[in-house]
Amino acid sequence: MFAVVLLFGLFAMTARNALDPDLWWHLRTGQWIVETGHVPHSDPFSFTRAGHAWISHEWLSEVVFYQLWKHGGAAALILFSAIITTAGFILLYLRCPGKRHWAAAATALGALASAPSWGVRPQMFTFTLASLLLWLLESGEYHPKLLLWIPPLFLLWLNLHAGFALGPALLLAYAVGLLLETAVGNTPWPEARPILLRVLLLLVACLALVPLNPSGAQLYRYPFDTLRSSGMRSFIAEWFSPDFHQSLYRPFLLVWLLLLTALAISRSRPKGRVIVPLLLTAFAALDAVRHIPIFILVAIPVIAAALPVNAASLAAAQRLPRSPRFRLLFNTVILVPIALFALVNWVILARNQETREAELFPKKAVSFLRAGNYPQRIFVYYDWGGYAIWKLYPEYRVFVDGRADLYGDDLLDQFKTAVRLQTGWRDVLDRWQVETVLVPTSSALAQALLLDPNWHAAFSDSKAIILLRAHPAVRIAENLNTSLAGEAKE
């Protein structure tokens, strides 16, 4: 009963509109792969990185998303993402020790804590596959044959999302934890040795499988390049540390408080194979919001193990009538409303998709560009870059979009310089021969260009403004000459 109630409850909680800023370029890439029959190795969507090498590490997710969109629209994406995310939490629920009602409560808290990361995005594959990996690892201690599923799972994972690097990291942390257990005498070496050997063999097998993707061995370095990118970590919100002053991170703070309490009062201390992954994911979650769901997968079972069993409530439950007719009635009263709520929530989200899309993205401005013949190099607001790719490619090319790994720190810094009116912002637009700008109406760049006689507004509403350069070739040449002359004097 707890499992089924949790299932429908999580399904209702995890359903989200298809509004992630990166979803749109994922859809366009999936379409590109389906129509051309191969995975892109260079960028086809921007004018700043056209032809440059691009590691399309989420190619399989993009194909899945595009096929869902093609045959079922946004409703199919919403439903599919909710199912994937819910599956990850159900696996977490199964890993929680103790009574089922406490396991369900702890899992629901974990779902609330990780809610900021939910959405229609390839990252949800990493969440669910990491949850499955942990379940296989723990179950494999008693049923070693289950561990044979990990290599094929990992092969699928590394073609779905670059978060596959979490798999070897968790395996290594698990192995280090086992060694720690033997070092302090908690686990005898003869007992730990076969488990350790199996985990290390799995680690080697997974690392050997990494080149089996369209980008080959380049995927070895990709996760490290991403983690070292200062531009991504200073510009993209999900790479920021959680701000506990914001209400959406309060459940995460509560998880931390319960975890510390559980570690302090629990009679049986967690084993090293739990502590080391817990420390690894705890640091990652405090470092970046996007890692909170992975920390939840490790922390919630520790909290559930420390929750007390209320003997009085169990005795009361045992005195409840157990007739089949009563159980059927009870189950119906509980399950039907929550199942209906989950279904109605999904229907409402699907019907509101276009409205929500128009609230977050420049839908009318994009329609204006599609209806006319305007300069093709567009300087688009960062969060709208993917939307522009989905709606305007191949007629138009963007300056940057959500593929921060492709553009690199230098180009992201140039974008920030222009959009924030920092020193040299005009030079950025001139150097890249930008002739069309699509940014929020209230942005500093929009207000500056409205005061510039070299630019004029072609479209404007409360959401976005389109600015065009007057006599582009002449103005760009004049500005560049002025800039070069200034540099020569210096």
Residue 267: what pLDDT? 75
Q: How many of the other CB atoms lie within 10 Å of CB of 168?
A: 17
Output the six-digit token pair for 489. 């004097």
Q: Crossing angle of helices 385-392/23-36, nearest 10°?
A: 40
Residue pair 133/297 in contact by the 8 Å Cβ criterion: no
CATH number at residue 402: 3.40.50
Answer yes or no: is 326 within a domain. no
The gap between the terminal CA atoms of the chain, to the nearest Å, is 76
- Min mean pLDDT across 272-286, 300-314, 333-347 is at 300-314
Which one of 315, 338, 369 terminates a domain? 315
Residue pair 215/55 in contact by the 8 Å Cβ criterion: yes
Q: What is the CA radius of gyration of the chain?
A: 26
Answer yes or no: is 344 within a domain. no
Same domain, 366 and 232: no
Return the percentage of the chain with pLDDT > 90, whole number.
Answer: 74
Answer yes or no: is 342 within a domain. no
Answer yes or no: is 340 within a domain. no
Output the six-digit token pair for 140. 């494999």
Answer yes or no: is 332 within a domain. no
136 CB-near residues (< 8 Å, 6+ apart): 146, 147, 149, 150, 153
Question: Which is more confidently placed, 22 or 489?
Answer: 22
Output the six-digit token pair for 241. 């540390």
Q: Phi first, then psi: what are they for 143, rounded to 5°? A: -130, 80
Taking 70 as the threshold, does the pLDDT of residue 282 lie above it? yes
Same domain, 302 and 376: no
Segment 471-485 shows an average pLDDT of: 52
Number of structural domains (the chain) is: 2
- How does pLDDT run across 433-472, given as a tens digit for each residue? 999 999 999 999 999 999 999 999 999 999 999 999 987 5
Same domain, 137 and 247: yes
- How does pLDDT run across 379-391, given as a tens digit for each residue? 999 999 999 999 9
Taking 60 as the threshold, does the pLDDT of residue 474 lie above it? no
Query: The whole model's pTM is what?
Result: 0.89
Taking 70 as the threshold, does the pLDDT of residue 487 lie above it? no
- How does pLDDT run across 155-180, given as a tens digit for each residue? 999 999 999 999 999 999 999 999 99
Same domain, 14 and 146: yes
- How does pLDDT run across 110-128, given as a tens digit for each residue? 999 999 988 999 999 999 9
CA–CA separation, 245 vs 228, rounded Å? 27
Beta partners for 364?
none
- pLDDT class of 323 with cuts at 50, 70, 90: low
Residue 330: what pLDDT? 66
- How does pLDDT run across 196-254, given as a tens digit for each residue? 999 999 999 999 999 999 999 999 999 888 888 777 777 788 889 999 999 999 999 99
* Alpha-carbon distances of 465 from 365, 373, 412, 429, rounded to whole Å: 7, 17, 21, 17
Return the percentage of the chain with pLDDT > 70, whole number.
Answer: 92
Same domain, 283 and 375: no
Average pLDDT, the chain: 90
Q: Give the pairing of strands 464-469 and 436-440.
A: antiparallel
318 CB-near residues (< 8 Å, 6+ apart): none
Residue 265: what pLDDT? 86
Residue pair 415/382 in contact by the 8 Å Cβ criterion: yes
Answer yes or no: is 350 within a domain. no
- Min mean pLDDT across 181-185, 420-424, 475-479 is at 475-479
- Min mean pLDDT across 48-62, 78-92, 304-318 is at 304-318
Same domain, 307 and 385: no
473 CB-near residues (< 8 Å, 6+ apart): none
Residue pair 207/154 in contact by the 8 Å Cβ criterion: no
- Min mean pLDDT across 37-41, 207-211, 406-410, 469-473 is at 469-473
Same domain, 98 and 221: yes
Same domain, 56 and 135: yes
Same domain, 311 and 367: no
CA–CA separation, 306 vs 263, rounded Å? 8
Same domain, 397 and 257: no
Structural domain span for residue 200: 2-315
Beta partners for 437?
379, 467
* Alpha-carbon distances of 63 from 126, 282, 397, rounded to whole Å: 16, 33, 22
Answer yes or no: is 417 within a domain. yes
Which one of 315, 333, 352 terminates a domain? 315
Residue 314: what pLDDT? 47
158 CB-near residues (< 8 Å, 6+ apart): 164, 209, 210, 212, 213, 219
DSSP 118-148: -SSSTHHHHHHHHHHHHHHHHHHTT-GGGGG
Taking 60 as the threshold, does the pLDDT of residue 332 lie above it? yes
Answer yes or no: is 453 within a domain. yes
Taking 80 as the threshold, does the pLDDT of residue 483 lie above it? no
Output the six-digit token pair for 477. 């040449």
Same domain, 299 and 374: no
Same domain, 271 and 385: no
